A and B are shown apart, each in its own frame.
Chain A
Amino acid sequence: MTRRWGGAVYAAVLAAVLVFGAAVGRAQAPRVQVEFWHALRGPLGEALESIVNGFNASQTSYRVNATFKGSYPETMVAAIAAFRAGNAPHIVQMFEVGTATMMAARGAIKPVYELMQETRTPFDPSVYLPAVRGYYSTPDGKMVSMPFNSSTPVLWYNKDAFRRAGLNPDRPPRTWAELREAAQRIRAANAAPCGWSTAWPTWIHFENFGAIHDVPFATKANGFEGTDAELQVNAPLYVRHLENIVQMQREGLFKYGGRDAAGDALGPSGECAMLTASSALFARYQREARFDWGVGFLPYYEDVRGAPKNSIIGGASLWVMTSPRRTPEEYKAVAEFFRYISNPEVSAKWHMETGYIPITFTAIQRAKALGYYQRNPWAEIPIQQLTRTRPTTNSKGIRLGNMPEIRTILYEEIERALQGQQSPKAALDAAVRRGNEVLRQFQRTTAQ
């Protein structure tokens, strides 16, 4: 008898636990989970996590899980591998040069304008700065990815070194001729070990250089109008600029700082009095620089007609990836998250914490209302530079497949010119020849 009663009690307890558990489960309806892979580390990653936490706390239906996946190329490869395995994250952060590659992967991504339509989420593309919107839109103006962290190159300079060299610390050089003169005086007075250096040589001295001087980087509207585009970086103005750089290096005025962001270190450390680098270098200057610094517009050649135009952006945007198992609720969750990050409060906070530019006009107004630009007058320079003219065909951005590889080719050829192994003209001719092969390769793999 005892044994049978024991069994009954056991069954009752089990049933109670199950019922109770189910009730609890229903009380906390499971949130729709969204996987978000990103490539920001350090203070930038923390700022991103805080935005994600803000979204998760702002409502109870969705939860975004942000995961750091390494550098931009590493994150890209991880997302591609996950897609091939049928496990793509909902959102992936992709650097701007991956744009054409992602756009060509039509089956793998869901364009943002489509996402917003399908989920009936209010969405007004016109609040985004044109230079930002254009970079991530189709030629007919439909936004394909969600702008997130954008920056643009500016001229950072050491005001103390300017003073030591007898230069006006409140008047950064406007043109390349003025920059050269400033570098000469800095070196002559030994106000800094190096006059000028640069980070991101290709982004700044080719992609942005072309936009500012309104000359094409490639045919077919920089690739926006077709994958059969061909590079044009061996045009006379690019050759002239590279010759200028090589000449300045020979005279000890310019110091090559390496590929991508490697040159960043030369500015905040005080080694080079001037540094052309991303506006997002703000956090480092603020933390590391032991001197008075300022920001100026990127220099240009004043004899070029129409210059200076608006500069173009760098940084990254958020892409929505597809997967065989996606539900409409998941897409709705992604759309809600996008709506959250583009509201003026959130994007102004992001802008002020990180030094990335505000991507919407409303965020600029918000930062202005908070008195941010009065406290940090330099922070308006990148915004003015991005918005000073309407983007032309040549200053809308770059839309070339395998762009990371094209950048590498340019690095290699420029480095050989800086080593004196070939002339600047020969370097850029070689870059065009090799780059066009890469573009044809992209055309072949995507046009089937």
Chain B
Amino acid sequence: MRDTIHLVAVYSKTTMRAWFQYRVDAFLKSLAVFLREATGIIVVFFTLLKFDTLGGWNIYEMLFLFSILFLTYGIMIIFFTGLRDFGKTVRDGSFDRFLLRPRGLLFQIIFVNSDWFAALGHGGLGIALFLISAGKAGINWNVQNALYYVFTIAGGVLIQGAIFLFIAVLNIYLLQTDSLKEMLYWNMRKFAGYPISIFHKIIQTLMIYVMPFAFVNYFPAQYLLRKDDMNSYPEIFMYITPIVGIVMYLVAYAFWRFSIRYYKSSGN
């Protein structure tokens, strides 16, 4: 155990060093990610200045919804960069190197690389939006709500991590899943910035049961904000984000375990 923690520390030190070799470049790249994502938010911001509310949500409530999405992604990418890039790892043969090291495969994939630019860009935006919105959205930050917030962020990280893991496993069978990820993950994520109640039933169903982004930010935000549109969903949905995260991750992990045998027996 101590050995593993030590290794994680060395891995983190190494990846940080590699990413921050060129400090100015690192700063600019993180800033670029930040600005790219922030542009989308600014559009929403100005739209709402005109319309006041969207499906009953005012600007600060909306920004709070966004903040959870970005913060969870920022944290998630620290751990799951290796899964995001897993297709490349398999294609260029680096995965063989993992197989040659006396450590768990998923452990290596998770800790061997972290995209700190994406982490700082998305995470930084998430924190900025949180700071802008958390006070003005009218949330009572007592101990109970703060604790809820922490657990729900962890759950949201796990949900997205599980999706990444699942798509990464598909690489073992398909070798090229970038467009699949674009379709499943990124397109659905575009909806997740808004209260799902404004969308057609089909999209709502997708967001709850297929790519459950609704559990990443919408239902948790509902717990803290209690908007009227929550009435159309079961109340329990506001409490189960961490469970959804854990269950999804375990399922994805089982799929991974099953498939890795296939990799070893089939080559590539």
User: Are A and B bound to each other?
Assistant: no
